[in-house]
Each structure stands twice: as structure tokens, then as C-alpha cells.
Amino acid sequence: MILFYSSMNYVLFLFLNQYYELEFVKAIIFTVIISFLITLLFPILSRISYKVTNYIRSLLNLGELENTKLKDSFLEDVNNDVVFIFSIPEERFIGSGYKGGNSKDYEDFSLKVLSFYGNEEFCRYAHEDTLMYFLEDKKIKADIYINFDKKIKIISFPSAAVEPRS
């Protein structure tokens, strides 16, 4: 990336030197000033172009573009607080519990899972098939996150949708 920007600065210098026939020192000064202005304006222009793109997409009834990771948006959903984690493709049970938090800083994937209280109707499921049958039977909408690199599947749903056992 540094090589790209350096070459852009050099092309700008050549352009100023060739077409405007500026002196060598003036061409360097103008190149530095223009490069500095581009550096300041680029983030603003980038945000404006992002908003314009989303506006055009909304006119065409298309979804908005978001600059977030799928994992982060899945794990930050405050409504879905129950998670079941299975390995794929063998569907081995890894763990379950309440979502306690996830790390965003420099870690590829980490998730804190707090244990169930023990009186929840769904806490006894350790097989994906029985869990999915339970969710369908109770008509609970569950979100499923699949990471093929890590070979895991996370099923998440709101605990408020399930009434606790007595």
C-alpha cells in the first residue's frame, strides 16, 4: 500500500512538473500540499460515497451495505442470549449457556459462555437434532452462525421465548 501511495505522489509530481512547467522545488511543494489535502479529504469523501451508495441501494429496494463482521453482528444481538455450540460436520456438542460476551480485539474468535441456571427447559439438550426439534415445537426463531474455518455452528435464540419449568 505504501508503494502504491508513493507512486501516486510521484505521478502527481511528474504531472505538475511536466504540464505546468513548475520549478523543481515548487513542484515538490505543490505535490506535498496536494497529497496532504487528499489525505485529509479522503475519509470524508469515502463516507459520503458510502452514504450515497446506501441511498441508491434503498431506492432500488436493496439491502444496506454494512462494514461489520458477520460474527460481531451475530454475537452482539442482545435479544438472543442463549447459545449452543456444535462442531461441524460431525455435529459434536461443544458447549451451551448464556452469552457472556465476546472479544473483538485482535482475536479471531472467542466467546464467553455462562452456564445455565438449571431450571431452563432447554438446558438438557446436547444434540443438535433434539434442540432444533424443541425450537420448532415451541416456534422459537433461532439464528444460526456457521464458521467453516473453525468448524463450528452456533445456534442462538432468546431465553425470553421459552417459559421456565416449574
Query: Tens-of-pLDDT digits for all 166 residues of the chain?
Result: 678 777 888 888 888 778 877 788 888 888 889 888 888 898 898 899 989 999 999 999 988 877 766 666 666 666 657 888 899 888 888 888 887 766 666 556 677 777 777 677 777 778 888 888 888 888 888 888 888 888 888 888 887 766 555 4
Alpha carbons 153 and 145: distance in angstroms, whole number: 6
Structural domain containing residue 80? 70-161
In this structure, the answer to whether residues 40 and 78 fall within a common structural domain is no
Note the pLDDT of residue 51: 92
Same domain, residue pair 29 and 86: no
105 plus 131 within the same structural domain? yes
Please count the other Cβ atoms lying within 10 Å of the Cβ belonging to residue 14: 12
Measure the CA–CA gap between 8 and 35, rounded to whole angstroms.
Answer: 9
Residue 130 lies in a domain: yes
Based on the domain organization, do 84 and 55 belong to the same domain?
A: no
Per-residue pLDDT, 48? 93
Which pTM was predicted? 0.56
Residues 75 and 155 in one domain: yes
